[in-house]
Amino acid sequence: MAMSSRSQSPDTFSDAEILLTKGRYQARLAATPADVTAVQALRTLCFRTAEIDRDGFDDTCAHVLVEDTRNGALVCCFRMLVLEGGAEVARTYSAQYYDLSGLQDFEGRMVEMGRFCIHQGWNDPDILRVAWGAMTTFVDRENIQMLFGCSSFAGTETEDYLDAFAMLKHRHLAPKRWLPRVKAPDVFRFAARLRRKPDAKKAMLRMPPLLRTYLMMGGWVSDHAVVDRHMNTLHVFTGLEIGAIPPARKRLLRAVAG
């Protein structure tokens, strides 16, 4: 499949709402159907799906594009679904796979972040920093109190990720009041099944970069992983309460966003 990129010059970026420009990258909200089509093409490439990666949530979400300002190439994308509070969690993508009734009493605006991907042709840590900086800008502007979504491990075999799952069990399980319950028919109940002490180095090497970032900010996960054979992933529900982010980490995020 050909590389996903935009034919427009950087001069036309002003047509859309810019969230952040940092170095050679710029993050903006999708402004046209063509932007959403480009996002879907990048997701199809990254997730290696047989058909174009799109669903009904694309119509109700805001889409963020991170582009290389030198040539307009789309290098990263994700989508956001804004909720006014926990009473709306049943209409999210994650609710298809997890029983989120524990979050229904959450007071405060929420964002479900999903379909995050970075083009395999760009191996630059600044891309992830810009993506999180853009998210920070959005969170501050919209008074968001919780971020959540599904964090994915590549493939559906658990063996390679046992240290990572053991670390999630020992250090990063959701508070009981928010803990998602099992809903999907095919799950790996790692919190109940694993008795091993995690090898921290191996665990972090196998942890997906997006999930690693969530955890560094104080994020937490479900006690089980969903085996998603359609997407060829194992994913855990991941939550991050904005008020619980350590002050030093908030300063770093806002320094990027600023």
Q: Residue 19 corresponds to which tokens in the numbers above?
A: 């969230």
> Is there a contact between 17 and 28 (Cβ–Cβ < 8 Å)?
yes
Annotated domain spans of the chain:
10-257
How much is the pTM?
A: 0.90
pLDDT tens readout for residues 14-36: 456 999 999 999 999 999 999 99
Q: Which pLDDT score is estimated for 8?
A: 37
Dihedral Cα 59, 227, 241, 118, nearest 10 deg:
-60
pLDDT reported for residue 255: 80
Whether residue 152 has pLDDT greater than 50 = yes
Q: Torsion angle, CA of 130/132/138/139, rounded to 10 degrees? A: -160
**What residues contact 49, with CB distance under 8 A and at least 6 apart?**
43, 231
Measured between alpha carbons, how far is 169 from 211 in angstroms, rounded to an integer? 14
What is the separation of C-alpha 235 from the centre of its chain, rounded to a whole number of angstroms?
11
Residues 6+ apart with CB under 8 A from 56: none
Give the mean pLDDT of the chain.
91
Decide which of 9 and 121 is more confident.
121
pLDDT digits (tens, 9 = 90+) for 172-186: 999 999 999 999 999
Per-residue pLDDT, 11: 38
Q: Are strands 109-118 and 144-154 parallel, antiparallel or unpaired?
A: parallel
User: Does the structure show a pLDDT above 60 at 243?
Assistant: yes
CA 93, 95, 100, 106: dihedral to nearest 10 degrees?
40
Q: What is the fold, at CATH topology level, of the domain defined by 10-257?
A: Aminopeptidase (3.40.630)
Confidence of residue 190 (pLDDT cuts 50, 70, 90): very high
Is the pLDDT at 2 greater than 80, yes or no? no
What pLDDT was estimated at residue 16? 65
Closest to 134 in 3D by CA, of 147, 122, 123? 147
Query: Which tens digit of pLDDT belongs to each residue from 57-83?
Result: 999 999 999 999 999 999 999 999 999
